[in-house]
Structure 1
Amino acid sequence: MWEKKIEEARRFFGIADYPGNLFDFLGNKKVIDEHKLLLFKQDLDKLSGFIGYSYGFTIICVNYKRNIGHQNFTLAHEIGHMFLHNGISKSDINPERAGQDKEELEANLFASELIYPEKFVTEDYKFALENNLFKKENWDDLAVFINSLCEKYYTSFIFAFNKMSNGYFRNYKSRAAFYSRFKKHIGNLSDTFPKHMHVVDYNHEFYQVNIEPYNYMKELVKELVDKQELGLETGESIIERYEKLGGNH
């Protein structure tokens, strides 16, 4: 079922093959107007993100204090809940890990395919094999290649590695052992590759609070109150409700 829902989501948001930075598709006023989707970025402490529903709107909030690849996967995961489990509010601590129940697993599979489709995984894996990138003497080149996947698909380094290389290993244990040695060889990613892709950099736009949806809702509520289509007290309660869902700002 989730495969069909991915195609539905791509059509819904106008995504041709893969979204890259999914926030570029969803973080604008047009999406709010057309799809009634409010996308917040806040400090959610231990949560990676959540999805909720209120007053006919879908509310998604993502923790900006995670690297952009993690944020992107979290957003795709919440969109998965939106299309697969609509109307059910969810909070996620780390959606990049395997889910603990059927709905979380479905949302993970949805997110993985949405941001890094299997047809591209096949092409990338073939490239890695043809260039012998898994041989230890070529690990520097493998790191550069994995980083290029991160920048193309907006994923975390470990997610891009795991998905692209999955066919190379017999099981999870052998892949984890390889990655441990490989990662030790690379060292800190931010020392070699663009810092904003791999660690939280508060000077970069990826790691900023997004309060634009609050401004939108306040203007919308004010307009309805002015038209006397909504009572003042009700309007104030709606704004308060959104602020609680979105977190402090």
Structure 2
Amino acid sequence: MIVRRPRFAMIKRTVNSLLMESGVFGPAVPVEKIAEEAGIEVRYGDLGEISGLLARKPGITIIGVNVEQPNVRQRFTIAHELGHYLLHEGLGEHADRDYRINFRDSSSSEASNVLEIEANFFAANLLMPEEFLERDDAESAIEDDQGVADLAAKYDVSRHAMSLRIGKIYGHLRPF
């Protein structure tokens, strides 16, 4: 299936179902546990310039996470790769016919590839669900650096990610 434009509504539904199935009703979302419940093994190592990767082989799926990056980046990487796993059949480099690898690198955050846009949107929705942010009155934190910092700590995400998410939910930026 070729994805030509981001499927934001479908991704929101997928994330909401995933949170319900996992029994997650508030922050911080246990993203590694959710990935493991989906049958994915999460491994940590020094990946150099790569933030993370998704490796699929019949019978096993692995999310590789760069241990050298901050915890909040590692959590976003796991959520991003889980998004690829649930939304996309496989892409990227092929080591052989049965093995697919998706890399998360600096280009993953650029809004130039629909699959990356979807994986980023999935990760943002999983780690910072709109319903949770509404309960925490996140809109009032838009102009307050300390409010953003407090929410970021509560959700175990970066201040930058929280700032973007709040701005996009409340109409100050494009969807993320």
The verdict on a shared fold, with TM-score over 0.5 as the criterion, is yes
Conserved 8 A contact 1:44-1:63: yes
**Which structure: greater strand fraction?**
2
Alignment deviations for residues 123-177 of structure 1 (CA, whole Å, 9 cap, x no partner): 4333337xxxx3xxxxxxx3332222122111111111222244474x68xxxxx
**Which structure: greater helix fraction?**
1
Q: Following TM superposition, by how much is the alpha carbon of 1:11 offset from its aligned partner in structure 2, in angstroms?
A: 4.4
Mapping of residues 55-204 of structure 1, within 5 Å: 55-88=58-91, 89-94=101-106, 97-122=109-134, 123-128=136-141, 134=143, 142-166=144-168, 167=170, 169=172
Q: Following TM superposition, by how much is the alpha carbon of 1:112 offset from its aligned partner in structure 2, in angstroms?
A: 0.7
Runs of at least 5 residues in structure 2 that lack an aligned partner in the other structure: 1-9, 92-100
Higher-Rg structure is 1
Conserved 8 A contact 1:80-1:111: yes
Runs of at least 5 residues in structure 1 that lack an aligned partner in the other structure: 135-141, 173-249
Q: Following TM superposition, by how much is the alpha carbon of 1:85 offset from its aligned partner in structure 2, in angstroms?
A: 0.9
Q: Following TM superposition, by how much is the alpha carbon of 1:76 offset from its aligned partner in structure 2, in angstroms?
A: 0.5
Count of paired positions: 154
Conserved 8 A contact 1:36-1:56: no
Measured at CA, do residues 61 and 99 of structure 1 come closer, stay the same or move farther in structure 2, by a change above 3 Å?
A: farther
Letter in 1 for 2:163: F
Q: What's 1:15 paired with?
A: 24
Q: How far apart in 2 are the matches of 1:67 and 1:26?
A: 20
One of 45, 56, 59 as aligned partner of 1:42: 45
Measured at CA, do residues 168 and 110 of structure 1 come closer, stay the same or move farther in structure 2, by a change above 3 Å?
A: closer
Measured at CA, do residues 168 and 38 of structure 1 come closer, stay the same or move farther in structure 2, by a change above 3 Å?
A: closer
What is the TM-score with the length of structure 2 in the denominator? 0.72
Q: Following TM superposition, by how much is the alpha carbon of 1:79 offset from its aligned partner in structure 2, in angstroms?
A: 0.6
Q: How far apart in 2 are the matches of 1:152 and 1:161?
A: 13
Q: How far apart in 2 are the matches of 1:80 and 1:168?
A: 24
